[in-house]
Amino acid sequence: MIFVVGVSHKTAPIEVRERLGAATEGTPQVLARLASLPELGEVLWLSTCNRVEVVASSSDEVVDPSIFAVRQELARQAGCSDSSELSPYLYEKRGKDAVIHVFRVASSLDSMVLGEPQILGQLKAASDAAARARTLRGKLGGLLQRAFAVAKRVRTETAIGAGSVSVSSVGVDLARRIFEDLGTCVVLLLGAGEMAEAAARSLGRSARALRICNRNFDRAASLAREMRAAAVPWERLEAEIVEADIVVASTASPIPIVTRDMVKRACRARRGRTLFFVDLAVPRNVEPEVHELENVYVYNVDDLEHEVARGLSARRGEVDAAERIVRDEFEAYLAWSRGLDVAPTIVALRTKVRAILGAELERSLGGRLKHFGPAERDALALMMDSATNKLLHEPSTRLKTHAAEQEDAEALAAALRLLFDLPVDTHEDPTGKPVDGTAPSVVAGEPRLN
């Protein structure tokens, strides 16, 4: 069974989310630990500023031990003494609810900023990381490919992405309201990743000056050339804060890079000028105590949620249309997954019939037909293949069709396994090769919904 366990901006404050983000050494290491849990089959790790989720399949039909194992691992990564400390913030979804949740996350229907495009890229990056770590194979791989297709439909067929559609753009809009005229402001971007680029694009040419400070100077210089900004060395961070009016922080540092003492020293040189921080990072880049300084204001991603609500009304009307797409795609996925449930039985039936006929053919060719030459032997083999296909085509087609339209197809598959003494473990055929399914617009090996 597919399931999801995690925290998001809806269930946990930033203080909890950043503990999970800061505790992880990197995605490959996290995936390796999760994959080592015997209760899990496949696993995907998704970590963004607004959510940390484990999407996984259970290695057993009973999913409770798998969910418990993931909850324990998340608590360990957050530095909790036991899982009960983190439990109030965790949510879990199983089967149908888990699949719909993944579709909604990919389509940004579960994001803080409705319609923001970053989550799809983050989910694709998480999928690529899991594929490289070999923790993503058939089941979850197929689910994610379907989720990407759902997200594309939502973005193409609705206007849910209209207006300010990222946390960074919301932060810039807030800065505009505070300073009124950004044409008088110097904006400093800390970081040169996706968030910083989005902030730079939201600013456009409205700021008096845009400066980019990043540990990797080459990356800062590259973004600066694209945005017609200035790149500055990381060593000049404190001096740049003295000159800036607005600082947008979005680095991947696990600890704060802007401290209270640093800003306090900068404030002495600023002579009372207002300093505004937009901290888009999780874990936070700016120490919360910075907000206590006079004429200094700090907004983190949770603070921006209130600003998000102000711009939500323009896209609220598109939500129903997007949710309908999610439901339609889920029904298509469900029909396909039912077909996948019976596919291993069909493969096992064909394998057994071919094995029986092949054994009889070999016995005949070794006996009274041993005088047959290669041409005659090949002709008999082709005839056997043709007879097998014609014999099993109708029952195979009817079983697949029934599976797509009805919910009791597994009972028919079970009857076939009983009558023909087929393997009970239908995830592999008798040759030991994994059984894959195919479906229109869906990759082979898409997961079953149990």
* Active-site residue set: 49
Q: Which of 397, 302, 362 has its CA nearest to residue 18?
A: 302
Alpha helices in 165-216 (DSSP H): 167-179, 194-203
Yes or no: say if 196 and 223 are a contact pair by the CB < 8 Å rule: yes
User: How far, in Å, CA of 422 to CA of 355, rounded?
Assistant: 12
Q: Which of 440, 345, 329, 327 has its CA nearest to residue 392?
A: 345
Residue 439 phi/psi, 5° resolution?
A: -155, 150
Q: At what angle do helices 139-157 and 95-106 cross, to 10 degrees?
A: 50
User: How far, in Å, CA of 173 to CA of 247, rounded?
Assistant: 14
Alpha helices in 366-408 (DSSP H): 374-405
What letter would DSSP give residue 207?
S
Cβ neighbour number for residue 87 with a 10 Å cutoff: 12
User: How far, in Å, CA of 32 to CA of 439, rounded?
Assistant: 31
Cβ neighbour number for residue 316 with a 10 Å cutoff: 10
What letter would DSSP give residue 258?
B
SS3 label, residue 249: strand
Q: First CA to last CA across the chain, in angstroms?
A: 5
Retrieve residue 226's tokens: 């694209």
Contacts with 430 (C-beta within 8 Å, 6 or more apart), sequence order = 348, 351, 352, 355, 423
Retrieve residue 379's tokens: 């002709």
